[in-house]
């Protein structure tokens, strides 16, 4: 069985595929594009991910010294093997994405342990965090050029996030209404 790329490897390899890059350039791209909103890549993990990709033969590095900087740096380039693996990973990510695991689902499964007020309070806090996340997403979208003013596939990333966030907000708002109306124990019995 051929090992799949994990989501972090997919993200880093896709950035290197766009343009050979230094690790710090990858960090800048991740930050500038707001990728941390939908990927789980910390600054400290970038080097580890690149090292793993290089060990697997998906990227190669070269030592370079740029004219404007006295430091010697490693620049990473995708290999043919890496391009093939990246293409397979993209097809798999679109055709059969893994369902994200969420601690929210565990909380929801056990919400009956809370009284009505505690449940509503916790859900209201979650709802506010989702609204805050939406505001950050809109800010990033506007920084990228704004809806309809950027390449449609980049727009699609933001639109997908918008749809998912709005659906989550609607779900939580409806759940709060139901709990206010029925309480917790009544909701479990039916």
State the Cα–Cα distance between residues 163 and 133, nearest whole angstrom.
13
Core vs surface per residue 133-151: b (16+ CB within 10 A) or e: ebeebbebbeebeeeeeee
Tell me the pLDDT band of 54, cut-offs 50, 70 and 90. very high
* 73 and 141 housed in the same domain: no
Residue after which a domain boundary falls, among 49, 73, 95 = 95
* 126 and 88 housed in the same domain: no
Model pLDDT for residues 71-128, shown as the tens digit of each residue: 778 999 999 999 999 999 999 999 998 887 889 999 999 999 999 999 999 999 999 9
Domain of residue 70 covers: 7-95
């Amino acid at each position: 069985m051929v090992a799949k790329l994990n989501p972090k490897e997919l993200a880093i390899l896709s950035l290197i595929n766009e343009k050979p890059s230094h690790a710090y350039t990858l960090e800048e791209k991740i930050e500038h594009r707001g990728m941390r909103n939908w990927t789980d890549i910390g600054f400290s993990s970038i080097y580890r991910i690149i090292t793993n990709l290089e060990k697997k033969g998906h990227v190669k590095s070269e030592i370079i010294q740029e004219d404007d900087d006295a430091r010697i740096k490693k620049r990473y380039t995708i290999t043919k093997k890496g391009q093939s693996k990246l293409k397979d990973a993209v097809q798999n990510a679109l055709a059969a994405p893994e369902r994200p695991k969420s601690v929210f689902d565990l909380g929801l499964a056990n919400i009956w342990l809370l009284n009505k007020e505690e449940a509503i309070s916790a859900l209201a806090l979650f709802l506010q965090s989702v609204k805050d996340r939406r505001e950050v997403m809109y800010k990033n979208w506007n920084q990228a050029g704004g809806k309809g003013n950027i390449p449609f596939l980049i727009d699609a990333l933001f639109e997908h996030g918008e749809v998912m966030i709005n659906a989550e907000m609607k779900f939580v708002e409806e759940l709060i209404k139901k709990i206010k109306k029925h309480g917790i124990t009544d909701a479990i019995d039916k």
